[in-house]
Amino acid sequence: MKFICRILPFLLVSILVVLLVFTSGSWLIARKVVAMLILPAGALWLIGILAMSWPGIRVRVRWGLFLAWLVYSLAGSPYLGIALLKPLENRFLAFEEIREPLDALVLLGGGTIRSPGGAPALGTHGDRVLRPAMLYHQGQARHLITTGQSITEKGRGRLLSRETSIIWQNLDVPVSAITEVPDPRNTEEELAAVAELLRARPEWRKVGLCSSASHLSRAMGEAEKQGLALIPVPSDFRSMSLKFSPLYVIPQGRGFRDVQTALWEYLGQLL
């Protein structure tokens, strides 16, 4: 009996792994499931199941372990990430198509990284950098405005506006069609600087505001505080529906990223 109690947690984990693999639907997905379970996020998830099913621990401790495991599972869930991002992004689905050409399009800082050699490149949210250049070449945006700098790295701040400008120029957007606003450090400062710029350019009547769709709610709110009536131009949508798969039951990087992105935006709206 003692032997069975000792091996029971391992049996439970083994059964779970077998179920996840055999319900994958294809060998390709099954291999991905196994890989996810071996990687740190999945391995910690399995260790949590082992810990809370371990024999001999107190009921309160077991409940505490279960709650910790549940919070961890939800924090890394791609399904929860999408559910949290949807309300932020859905209100901007109708603005994906530009109805009338814009006199100017403002892109909030972000979406770029630096290569090891220091050259600017598209990052995880690079769609927000690419879309204004595409709209310019389609004749939907006559002038592009790039803002912001990074304050989270060592040394002098990275000028996100400069990095974006360089990428746009490499995409054949002429320098004469780009305005850089490098000083702002966050969304509030960016929209304040944009308001000052637009007061000096009254000929720009139809002005768009581009950012990740999940960030636009907060950005548009800041624009309204500055007395700006900007047209939302969403990009970088991340709440597209996922079909059910055992692969997404396992906590993973995508889930942690999307859950944190959504919660960051909800927190920003509250503060």
Instruction: Please tell me whether the overall predicted TM-score, pTM, comes out greater than 0.75 for this model.
Output: yes
CA distance 209 to 201: 16
Encoded tokens for 167 = 């990428």
pLDDT tens profile 37-92: 999 999 999 999 988 888 888 889 999 999 999 999 999 999 999 999 999 999 99
Query: With pLDDT > 90 as the criterion, what percentage of the chain qualifies?
Result: 60
Average per-residue pLDDT for the chain: 89
Domain ranges of the chain: 1-76, 96-235
Q: What are the residues whose beta carbons fall under 8 Å from the beta carbon of 7, sequence distance 6 or more?
A: none
Chain centroid to CA 126: 11
Residue 157 DSSP class: P
**How far apart are alpha carbons 135 and 101 in whole angstroms?**
9
Cβ–Cβ under 8 Å, residues 49 and 16:
yes
What confidence score (pLDDT) does residue 4 get?
58
CATH number of 96-235: 3.40.50.620
Q: Which amino acid is at 93?
A: L
- Give Cα 57 to chain centroid, integer Å: 39
Q: How far apart are CA 269 and CA 252, in angstroms?
A: 26
Residue closest to 249 by CA, chosen among 79, 50, 52, 72: 79
Residue range 237-264: mean pLDDT, rounded? 93
Give the Cα separation of 13 and 160 in Å (integer): 46
Per residue in 115-155, pLDDT tens? Answer: 888 888 888 888 999 999 999 999 999 999 999 888 766 54
Q: For the residues 257-269, what does the mean pLDDT come to? A: 93
At 44, the amino acid letter reads L
- Phi first, then psi, for residue 260 (nearest 5°) are -65, -40
Report d(CA 3, CA 9) in Å as an integer.
Answer: 11
Of 131, 135, 162, 133, nearest to 146 (Cα)?
162
